[in-house]
Amino acid sequence: MTAGTSDIEKAAGVLRAGGLVAFPTETVYGLGADAGNSAAVARVFQAKGRPPSHPLIVHLADPEHLGEWAEDVPATARLLAERFWPGPLTLVLRRGRRVSLAATGGLETVGVRVPSHPVALALLSAFGGGVAAPSANRFGSVSPTTADHVRAELGDAVDFVLDGGPCEVGVESTIVDATGDTPSILRPGGVTREDLEAVLGFPLAVPATSSVRVPGQHPSHYAPRARVVLVEPEKVVAEAELAQELGHRVGVLVPPAFAGVPVKAHAVVAVPGSMAAYARRLYGFLRELDQRGCDLVVASVPEERGLGLAIANRLRRAAGPRPSD
């Protein structure tokens, strides 16, 4: 059920009172708190089990408010904001006076975005201020793309959950560092590199998956409980069957080129051929494989173009070394 006007009012009241509201955005569900209230922001870190040095994104209702939340906004950042907001783009800028240092993890920069989901925009307008919100999952795990995912993962740690149906984009926003003269991509996401470059007119640097450019990012992130193993597309079926024979409960994400090939594994998911559809369903697939009791997921990365870049990034991070390794 999609949230109605009284739900929005109630949620805005919870934010004003320093509480936590989970809300839908076009990318993933966020866990929101008043970005100007340090105590409320501290509760977000607690609920997620996230280290306090790991900065949050501030969500605004209107690009016009940017000047209150960020300072010295360069012309390139204004151009990107104009072209891609509301939408799945986060701009890292110099912190403005209204942002609590708790929200930025002590940094003098701040990530800001205007989301496009109508429920998110209604909440932000009703609340009237900035809402600091990470994805509404436990630290390191897969982001939620439905209200049920949020409830299953955070339960009572959230004061109110706004339900806006399944998220349209399905992977998080693209984060662009716009503090310097030359913008760079810190995290690929819902706005493609190609679309950004078309607007800017020059190529953008994208970090290698292994580099830790965004403070607090760890190699294993966006990860299901099951271990994730990535192989070449043509080796997915053989690798999955071998692991299953060796006694694993294998979940397999079958690449589109091999759709219909029978696979002897515990759980078999056919990956959509369209990158938009794959991005929308990626986290749901990973959650489903966990729920079905898989201990190993075998997959391959798609071509790193368009939304394929964000999908490949999330799969690589999910396959990264775990803290216990």
Binding site for ligand TXA (CB under 6 A): 25, 27-28, 30, 54-57, 88, 90, 92, 104, 107, 109-111, 115, 133-135, 172-173, 175, 186, 214-217
Residue 206 interface partner, choices Mg ion, ligand TXA, none, CB cut-off 5-8 Å depending on type? none
Show the tokens assigned to 42: 């501290």
Residue 27 interface partner, choices ligand TXA, Mg ion, none, CB cut-off 5-8 Å depending on type? ligand TXA
- Per-residue binding letters, 126-165, with Mg ion (x by CB under 5 A): ---------x------------------------------
Using the minimum distance from each CB to ligand TXA, give the nearer residue, 135 or 220: 135
Show the tokens assigned to 145: 């793309």
Using the minimum distance from each CB to ligand TXA, give the nearer residue, 49 or 293: 49
3-state secondary structure of 46: helix
Using the minimum distance from each CB to ligand TXA, give the nearer residue, 79 or 214: 214
Query: Rounded CA gap, 126 and 249, in Å?
Result: 47
Our measurement of the distance from residue 72's CA atom to the centroid of its chain's CA atoms, rounded to an integer in Å, reads 26
* Ramachandran region, residue 269 (left: φ > 0; alpha: ψ -120 to 50; beta: rest): beta
Residue 55 interface partner, choices Mg ion, ligand TXA, none, CB cut-off 5-8 Å depending on type? ligand TXA
Contacts (Cβ under 8 Å, ≥6 apart) of 202: none
Show the tokens assigned to 241: 């069957």
Q: Kind of pairing, strands 30-34 and 21-23?
A: antiparallel
Tell the smallest beta-carbon distance from residue 226 to ligand TXA (Å). 21
Residue 107 interface partner, choices ligand TXA, Mg ion, none, CB cut-off 5-8 Å depending on type? ligand TXA
Q: Which parts of 247-307 are beta strand (E)?
A: 250-254, 267-270, 296-299
Task: By CB under 5 A, name the binding residues for Mg ion.
Answer: 135
